[in-house]
Amino acid sequence: MSGSERKEAEVRRMMETPHPVVPGGLGAQAAARGERLLRRHRALRRTLWLVLSAALLALAVWALATEPWLLPPSDTVPPVEGV
């Protein structure tokens, strides 16, 4: 008997045995847990978007205030000639 035939025979044996009894409220518990998980994921996603938006706004305000794209003023003055 090869490995795949042995696995297939084992699965068939498992399928022929009686199935265990499922608790009555299992479906409702699973649905409630799923709803909680979805709410938690939505709240986390909204929080992350809010933090990202706040960071982008802070970056825009900083860039407008400091204007980092402009060259800083020169500290040295070239010598004056011909005066």
Kindly state the average pLDDT of the residues 13-20.
Answer: 87
Compute the residue count for the chain: 83
Query: pTM score, two decimals?
Result: 0.59
Does residue 30 contact residue 22 with C-beta atoms inside 8 Å? Answer: no
Residue 78: per-residue pLDDT: 76
Structure tokens at 37: 């998980």
pLDDT digits (tens, 9 = 90+) for 49-63: 999 999 999 999 999
- In terms of phi and psi (left: phi > 0; alpha: psi -120 to 50; beta: otherwise), the region of 23 is beta
Please give the pLDDT value at position 44.
Answer: 98
Calculate the average pLDDT of the chain: 91
Binning pLDDT at 50, 70 and 90, where does residue 82 land? confident
